[in-house]
């Protein structure tokens, strides 16, 4: 990204690229995981979407409404590359992030924990410890 661009412009351009990749059907993790520098850019996009999603859904109590927010699908679409970032967020934000992780990996560790926010958070963190290497890649 050019130095003369504002963070807002970079995020807008990144979101446009994200939408284009989503429309094309290409895997986001394959598209963005080209270099470590590129991964840093992707992390900035993820954080911008995540912050927006957290702020705009904080007042909602219905899971359906949280999942229908436009950022939810975009966060899930990041795929495997976002798992370590979502696991970091689940430590503080809890249950909403379990839905993003479920969308990415396709299941929940310990479905019996679905109604228990703390147990769900612990199950995801344990899942992450067992299934991710030091670089955040699935093993």
The pLDDT tens digits for 103-131 are 999 887 776 666 677 888 888 888 888 88
- Indicate the number of domains in the chain: 1
pLDDT band at 39 (very low <50, low <70, confident <90, very high): low
Identify the band that residue 50 occupies on the pLDDT scale cut at 50, 70 and 90: very high
Specify if 1 maps to a domain: no
Instruction: Give dist(CA 80, CA 115) in Å, integer.
Output: 25
Buried b (16+ CB within 10 A) or exposed e, 4-40: eeeeeebbeebbebbeebeeeeeebbebbbeeeeeee
Instruction: Look up the domain containing 60 and give its range.
Output: 7-131
Q: Are 22 and 28 in contact (CB under 8 A)?
A: yes
pLDDT at site 120? 83
Within a domain: residue 81?
Answer: yes
Position 1 scores a pLDDT of 44
Domain-located, residue 113: yes
Angle in degrees, 0-180, between the axes of helices 83-93 and 95-105, rounded to the nearest 10: 160
Residue 136 lies in a domain: no
Average of per-residue pLDDT across 54-63: 87
């Amino acid at each position: 990204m050019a130095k003369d661009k504002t963070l807002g412009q970079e995020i807008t351009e990144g979101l446009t690229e994200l939408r284009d990749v989503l429309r094309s059907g290409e895997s986001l993790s394959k598209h963005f995981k080209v270099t470590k520098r590129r991964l840093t850019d992707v992390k900035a996009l993820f954080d911008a979407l995540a912050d927006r999603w957290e702020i705009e859904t904080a007042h909602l109590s219905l899971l359906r409404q949280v999942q229908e927010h436009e950022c939810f699908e975009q966060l899930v679409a990041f795929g495997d590359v976002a798992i370590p970032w979502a696991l970091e967020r689940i430590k503080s934000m809890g249950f909403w992030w379990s839905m993003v992780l479920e969308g990415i990996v396709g299941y929940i560790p310990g479905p019996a924990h679905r109604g228990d926010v703390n147990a769900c958070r612990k199950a995801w963190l344990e899942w992450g410890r067992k299934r991710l290497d030091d670089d955040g890649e699935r093993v």
